[in-house]
Amino acid sequence: MTEQEIFEHLFTIADQSDDTGGVVSSCLVRQGNIVAEGISCNDGKHSEYVLLRQLELSAIPVLPDDIIYTTVEPCGKRTLGGPGEHMGDCTTNLIQAGARHVVYAAPDPVKLDTSSSKPVARSVK
């Protein structure tokens, strides 16, 4: 699959989400094929968390050449006391799972440079 086809798929499956705070979808691609996917949920579960949980339950490891695709940049922190705080941030979770390559379509809309209040975009790939 091409990156365009992967992102078209992610935007298509995003319609299945019940997330009222902003829909995000992600997938793990191995050798050009989607192995697993995740969609954000209204209960605070981010798509990357759902994806990693699905991989864990299926006993599918993240291999060094695998690529994680996500429609929005993985979060770098969770809101203290928020519904997803116990799940940890997506960036740390992806690194701990062994992800070396992450491609996202758009920067995190709530991630701000605190010195200028402007959005900051960083690609891991």
| Eight-class DSSP state of 71 | E
* Residue ranges in the chain assigned as alpha helix (H): 3-13, 47-57, 90-97
Nearest to 48, CA basis, from 111, 106, 95:
95
3-state SS, residue 112: strand
The Cα 41–Cα 125 span in angstroms is 26
Tokens of 41: 């949920």
Phi, psi of 9 (to 5 degrees): -65, -45
Using an 8 Å Cβ cutoff, are 102 and 94 in contact? yes
Per-residue pLDDT tens listing for the chain (125 residues): 999 999 999 999 988 888 887 789 999 999 999 999 999 998 888 999 999 999 999 999 999 999 999 999 999 887 676 666 778 889 999 999 999 999 999 988 776 444 444 444 444 44
What pLDDT does residue 82 have? 66
The pLDDT score that the predictor gives to residue 118 is 46
- Predicted pLDDT at 79: 67
Query: Residue 114's pLDDT is what?
Result: 46
What the block records as the tokens of 45 is 């579960």
